[in-house]
Structure 1
Amino acid sequence: MTLQGSLTHEEYCAQLLAETGRLREIVRTADLSATVPTCPDWTLADLARHVGGAHRWVGAIVATRAAKSVDPADVPEGAGPEGEDAAALDAWLAAGVEQTVAALREAGPDTEVWSWTSEQNTGFWARRMTHETVVHRADAALTARVPFDVPAPVAADCLEEWLQIGELPMVAARFAERGAGLLGPGRTIHVHATDAPPGVDAEWLLDLTGEAPTHRRTHEKAAAALRGPLADVLQVLYRRLPADSDRVEVLGERALLDQWLTYASFG
């Protein structure tokens, strides 16, 4: 399948800068020693280093037109500053994302580079880094106890990419054991963002009735349904917000949704 996004290459580049800017606001003001509830092996400082390291790694792939994966240890300043110096982390995040976006803009979306999917181009990385940053900003917002929101077109595309990734053969094979019993007759899940503005398609049907998971954008009755604001639905499907939160509504076969969330825990 094609990992097709709904934003332009330049829109992804601009959103990557914007999302990193929002993450940096949290880094500058929050307790960097705090444990990230959704990534409990990390402190907030560790989370910032993870995101900034990913940016610089992708920047190295794009800038060098890499035909194979780059060892993160070979990326200049890829590990980031040690400790919990907010100013140092902030400056490092800013410099790294600016370098990466400059490389992405210079390359355009169609330059051939390595990726871990069949999409061997720079456009894949612009989209992937945008949504990687969105989801980890949600982690940071939860840690700092500040609101999380995201522009509707970006959130909808983030969810669409997540569902596309879940259908990749390499992902399905990796999580086949975890998904035992997931597929079968009548097993469908409707995902409905209730606050999507006009022009933003934010309804999906997860079809688990065949030999592998598939999805399509549609309003269709299903065995289970997840409804709520787009940012909250995004967080539930990425397992950043529990499905029993009062911010969303689950209808029908709750066990089926729980089984899907267990299967698709790669986000």
Structure 2
Amino acid sequence: MTLLAHDRYCDEIAHQVGQLRAVVTSGADLSATVPTCPDWTLEQLVRHVGGALRWVELTVRTRAQEEIPEEKVPGHDGPDAEGDPASLDAWLAETGDMIGGTLREAGPDAAVWAWAGVLNAGFWARRMAHEITVHRADATLAAGLPYEVAADVAADAIDEWLGIIEFVQRTVPERVADDLRGPGGRSIHLHATDTAPELNAEWLVELTEEGVAWRRGHEKATVALRGPLTEVLLAFYRRLPLDSPGLEVLGERELLEFWLERSSFG
């Protein structure tokens, strides 16, 4: 697996912040419930994303060697005014400038605390690029707006998600992801149908007794999920139903549903 360049992640964070700001200022109802994150309103989702970016910015800027409590992050919760898109937009703009500058200044190899065993700023650039990419999908879907994402970012987001599931299984076996262990011979194939061959936007995910194993490539599997890369990404992150237009499930659908129910951070 080859990561994207550090600057590419930084560029994508800036782009995604701009896109999220466009949702905030689009006239969308900030009090509306987000269907894919039903515990949050649209405004709460935006504040969550901005707060996470500020938390990471402080973590990287101070080269923290342990987790920083959220309450120690200046501006973490966002503007005092609620329901005010202008204040929320200004806070997001400042947040984007802060984290972009900090990550670029640090470079990918700066030593810093992280939770997945990769103890450098590069981990956080990648993690935040995909955090905001997927949560922007939540926001745009809630606002009824179109959603697009660059193919290299979407493919890397799938790589990262699979890596996270591997990490959770190795380190926290009592979590729900551990249910994915089991007899060999069960596998999932993801196949993006609209990308250039050199991107190799296909994956084989194997569920074994030792844990999840995965690799890029075209191989037969117990079940396959096919469709445009953006739709495959969103379905694999449980943001789109499997029956969404453009998606096709071939083989044992129950296995894919089993995966989607159990693949999570916790």
With normalisation by structure 1, the TM-score equals 0.94
Does the residue aligned with 1:95 lie in a helix, a strand or coil? helix
Taking the aligned partners of 1:222 and 1:7, their CA distance within structure 2 comes to: 27
Shift of 1:246: 2.8
Q: Are the structure 2 counterparts of residues 167 and 266 from structure 1 closer, same or farther at C-alpha, using a change threshold of 3 Å?
A: same
**1:218-255 deviations in Å (ceiling 9; x for gaps):** 10000100001101000111000011223310000000
Deviations 1:95-149 (A, max 9, x none): 0121111111111000000001110000000000000000000000110111111
Match of 1:32, SS? coil
Measure, in 1, the Cα distance between the counterparts of 2:60 and 2:176. Answer: 34
Aligned to 1:150: 149
The answer on whether the counterparts of 1:166 and 1:172 sit within 8 Å (CA) in structure 2 is no
Gaps of 5+ in 2: none
Deviations 1:173-219 (A, max 9, x none): 35655653652232011000111124312100001134201101010
Matches within 5 A, 1:94-109: 94-109=93-108
Deviation at 1:31, TM superposition (A): 1.2
Paired with 1:86 and 1:181, the residues of 2 have a C-alpha distance of 42
The answer on whether the counterparts of 1:20 and 1:97 sit within 8 Å (CA) in structure 2 is yes
Contact 1:239 1:265 in 2 (8 A): no
Tell whether the 8 Å contact from 2:169 to 2:211 is kept in structure 1 after alignment.
Answer: no
Query: Which residue is equivalent to 1:265?
Result: 264
Distance 2:176 2:96 in 1: 37
What is residue 7 of structure 2 aligned with on the other side?
10
2:111 and 2:119 in contact (8 A); partners too: yes
> Mean Cα displacement is larger for which, 164-173 or 175-184?
175-184
Letter in 2 for 1:251: L
Q: 1:73 aligns with which of 60, 65, 71?
A: 71
Any unmatched runs of 5+ in structure 1?
Answer: none
Q: State whether structure 2 residue 89 is matched by structure 1 residue 110.
A: no
Distance in 2 (CA, whole Å) between partners of 1:186 and 1:16 is: 38
Amino acid at match of 2:24: V
Q: Secondary structure at the match of 1:261?
A: helix
Q: Percent identity?
A: 53
- Quote the Cα distance in structure 1 between the aligned partners of 2:211 and 2:103: 33
Contact 2:107-2:121 at 8 Å conserved across structures: yes
Q: Does structure 2 retain, via aligned residues, the 8 Å contact 1:5–1:161?
A: no
2:23 maps to 26
Measure the CA separation in 1 of the matches of 2:12 and 2:177. 33
In the alignment, the residues of structure 1 paired with residue 176 and residue 78 of structure 2 have an alpha-carbon distance, to the nearest angstrom, of: 36
The residue number in structure 1 matching 2:49 is: 51
Amino acid at match of 1:77: G
Q: Name the SS for the 1:207 alignment partner.
A: strand
SS in 1 for 2:179: coil
Match of 1:217 in 2: 216
How far apart, CA to CA, are the structure 2 residues paired with 1:109 and 1:81? 30
Contact 1:22–1:137 (8 Å) recurs in 2? yes
Preserved contact between residue 203 and residue 218 of structure 1 (Cα < 8 Å): yes
> 2: distance between equivalents of 1:169 and 1:180?
11
Which runs of structure 2 are paired with 1:160-239 in the superposition (5 Å)? 160-169=159-168, 173-174=172-173, 176-177=175-176, 179-180=178-179, 182-239=181-238
